[in-house]
Structure 1
Amino acid sequence: MQRRQFLKASAATVAALSAPTVLRAANNALKVGTYGGYFQESFDKYIYSDFTAATGIEIESIAEPTGEAWLVQLAQAARAGQAPADVSMMAQLARLKGERSGLWAPLDETALSNLGNLPEHFVQRYEDGKLYGTGAVSWYITLVTNTEAYAEAPTSWTALWDAANADKLGLMSLATNSFLLEITATTYFGGTDILKTDEGVLQVMEKLAELKPNVRLWYRDEGQFQQALETGEIPMGQYYHDVTGLAASQGKPVRSSFPDEGAVLDSGSWVVSKASKAIEPAQVFIDYMAQPEIQAKLSRFVGTAPTVARELTDLTDEEFAAVSSDKAPILPLTQIYVDRGDWINQMWSEKITG
């Protein structure tokens, strides 16, 4: 997962927070991997120095490659007893694949005093109940429109199927990152449980295929769609809430809407390589990142939605709306793409984008 742009953040400071002091030599710093580019730059600038000041633990910042390449690197290195990073921010598909292979080190819950701040969907466990991951950052995919083409904001994902929107939509082209199966299942079938069987997936795909006449662009290039949305060439689609809000704040005629059925809440998780020799400081870092003050700081400076309950943060209504919503989200059903990914992708190509 790559994130391109985020909201412009106002200046703010977060006081150094108390945490266990685990001193490590600078040449033996805790290696933390995040998505490269903007993500890494933001963590370098706004997070790591304050973390070191609060805990005494030095951070070596690692830029992760895109897609599942980082998962492959971590797995290969772990077999040799090496850890390219101690802590990694992993997209959900890679996180679950790593769980299935036992790649992540179990974490000591007694060392994570802030674990209770996270909702259950941001707490990841092995089948035996052992904790191995926590929600790091999250972001929303919403229903977006050009305000010059649509005077009123749509209130439901059903707008994607409306015949009045023929040849007007831009939708993400992959089943695994568009979450259109989950959107369709929630909108028309009462939730994502239907996707747990092959028959259910095919039923949902049949409904999703009904909107094909409305699709002008199945996109992988986010910049291409954003430009078309801003010009009105493709006036409706699905896109990132934070990026759309940033464009709107810069005077572009675009809006992001949270449909009544909910927007898609995607996320990255903190996990620790089983080959890491730095479990204790890694847990200090993961616990630090689960503090409401730090999640609010990420919302302000990195543009991510908080992984903790809104009421725990000091975000203003405006700050919270810029990155999140109080509406119940649509959560990706990641396990189906691990268990039946090849088959789903084949069916998707034949029935949806083909």
Structure 2
Amino acid sequence: MSEQLSGKLACRRVSRRSVLQSSAALLSAPFVAKATAALGQEKLAGAGEVVVFSYGGSYTENLRRYVSDPFTKAAGIRVVDVTADVAEPQLKAMREAGRVDWDIAIVSPNVPAYLELYNAGVFMPIDYSLWDDEALKGVPQSARHTDAVVAFQNASLLVYDERAFPKGGPKNWADFWNVKAFPGPRGLASGAAAPGSMVFALIADDLAHKGLWRLTDDKVDRALQKLAEIKPNVAKWWTAGGEPVQALINREFSMTSCYDGRALAAIKRGVPIRMVWDGALVYENYWTVLKGGPNSANAQKFLAFVNRAEVAAAFTQGTSYPGPNLNQLKYLPADLMSLININPENASKTARLDISWLLEKRVDGKTNAEHIQERWLAWRTQ
């Protein structure tokens, strides 16, 4: 991405009204009209269908509206939706049964199930020869793996209720721990998202972002000691992604860790909350093509299509989670830029999980992720 574009995207402070107006205008417009014709190149043309996993609800509805239906118009390939909370258990069951019914799945590389599936050879190599030049240049090499490509990245970050802090709220995780200057009940993640809460504690304890990994036992000790300081002010240790925003709306929390896509969707609805990017923790999720799927060639074409810059922008608008193609920033409304994690200004303030280290096995045969989870559970039950 050029320095000129990067500078242009160092966003000005936006008003809630401008975000709502620009988002509504884009979502009501035929945003992907050009994608249906101009992007319907011969190498993506086909017939038949492709079976694509997604998460159901509004996510699948918007994926269909802004990506799947335009893909069908452009390529002549019908998209069949399959939905579940997560894909990995179904993929494992299909592998054990020796029958693959899906073509494309979104998987999370930071869970042990992914490593098991990867080692079993469940995923096909991605055919990057189908991708256009703008997609190959816009999607960083680090997001283009041999047998997976980043579908979207989400972040866990500090979000606060503007009603609780009309003169300005917390600006970082140190402020989150400062209950005197910023009073009120807190929320933090538990369960599978527990490593994030440990990371936030370390950042609040002045550990630089680049020094976070690895989460060795001494750092876990330090994180848990810091968490003990704020524990009396944590009204709830949430586990489901929808809980933090609802708790903010209900004034059960004055501030909380929260997934950025959930916060962005709430802001679009007019909920008076603000996102704080300093110290946000970024997670990646992968598109994969399943080996033995009924329509593998069509699956490759779908992934080539969804990663084109204009389609990637439509995906981001529809799902509230940005795909990796930075060239999409040219097609997104300027007032949305401060609210997405691939904005260069926001990205520069984030930390990122070291997936390979989390999935490494320890001497006792457990992964680092499993060990950290055990440490967390032991601390929570004290």
TM-score by length of 1: 0.83
The CA deviation at 1:37 is 1.8
Task: Write the deviation string for residues 157-186 of structure 1: whole angstroms up to 9, x where unpaired.
Answer: 112221425662111112536622333445
Q: Measured at CA, do residues 136 and 186 of structure 1 come closer, stay the same or move farther in structure 2, by a change above 3 Å?
A: same
Q: Does 1:237 align with 2:274?
A: no
Bigger mean CA offset, 12-21 vs 53-62: 12-21
1:100 aligns to 2:119 (yes or no):
yes
Deviations 1:53-79 (A, max 9, x none): 21222221111x224xx3232233234
Alignment equivalent of 1:168, drawn from 171, 185, 196: 185
Q: d(CA) in 2 for partners of 1:36 and 1:189?
A: 38
* Mapped partners of 1:90, 1:279: distance in 2: 17
* Aligned equivalent of 2:233, options 214, 220, 224: 214
CA distance in 2, matches of 1:33, 1:221: 20
Change (3 A) 1:192 1:352: farther
The equivalent residue for 1:110 is: 129
Tell me what 1:128 maps to.
none
Deviation, 1:246, is 4.0
Shift, 1:238, TM fit:
1.1
Helix, strand or coil for the counterpart of 2:154?
Answer: strand
1:287 counterpart residue number: 304
1:18 equivalenced with 2:40 (yes/no): yes
* Deviation of the 1:136 alpha carbon: 1.2
Mapped contact 1:176–1:337 kept (Cα < 8 A)? no
Output the CA distance in 1 between the equivalents of 2:50 and 2:121.
21
279, 288, 295: which is aligned to 1:271?
A: 288
Deviation (angstroms), 1:193: 4.6
Aligned residue pair count: 335
CA distance in 1, matches of 2:128, 2:241: 39
Residue 144 of structure 2 corresponds to residue 123 of structure 1:
yes
- Give yes or no for the alignment of 1:45 onto 2:45: no
What is the DSSP-based 3-state SS (H/G/I as helix, E as strand, rest coil) of the residue aligned with 2:213?
helix
1:136 matches 2:158: no
1:33/1:89 contact within 8 Å kept: yes
Q: Is the 8 A contact 1:167 1:215 kept in 2?
A: no
- Secondary structure at the residue paired with 2:102? coil
CA, structure 1 residues 11+135, in 2 after alignment: closer, same or farther (shift >3 Å)?
same
Identify if the C-alpha distance between structure 1 residues 112 and 198 changes in structure 2 by more than 3 Å, giving closer, same or farther: farther
Q: Tell me which residue corresponds to 2:7.
A: none
**Aligned partner letter, 1:24:** A
Instruction: Tell me, yes or no, if the aligned pair for 1:195 and 1:204 is still in contact at 8 Å.
Output: no
Aligned twin of 1:74: 91
Q: Partner of 2:314 in structure 1?
A: 297
Q: How high is the sequence identity, in percent, across the aligned residues?
A: 22
Distance 1:66 1:153, change over 3 A: same
Structure 1 distance, partners of 2:179, 2:234, is: 11
Is this contact kept in 1: 2:265–2:320, CA < 8 A? no
Q: Could you say which residue in structure 2 is the equivalent of 1:54? A: 74
- 1:350 is displaced (CA, Å) by 1.9
Gaps of 5+ in 2: 1-19, 360-366
Give, as a single letter, the amino acid of the residue that structure 1 aligns with 2:276.
S
Give the alignment's Cα RMSD to 1 decimal.
2.8
Query: 2:240 and 2:179 mapped to 1: Cα distance?
Result: 26
Change (3 A) 1:277 1:231: closer
1:271 offset after TM fit, Å? Answer: 0.4
Cα 1:30–1:170, aligned 2, differ >3 Å: closer, same or farther?
same
Deviation for aligned residue 1:87: 0.8
Amino acid at match of 2:259: Y
Residue pair 2:195, 2:373 contacting (<8 A) in 1 also: no
Would the alpha carbon gap of residues 175 and 184 (structure 1) be closer, same or farther in structure 2, given more than 3 Å must change? farther
Distance 2:376 2:194 in 1: 12
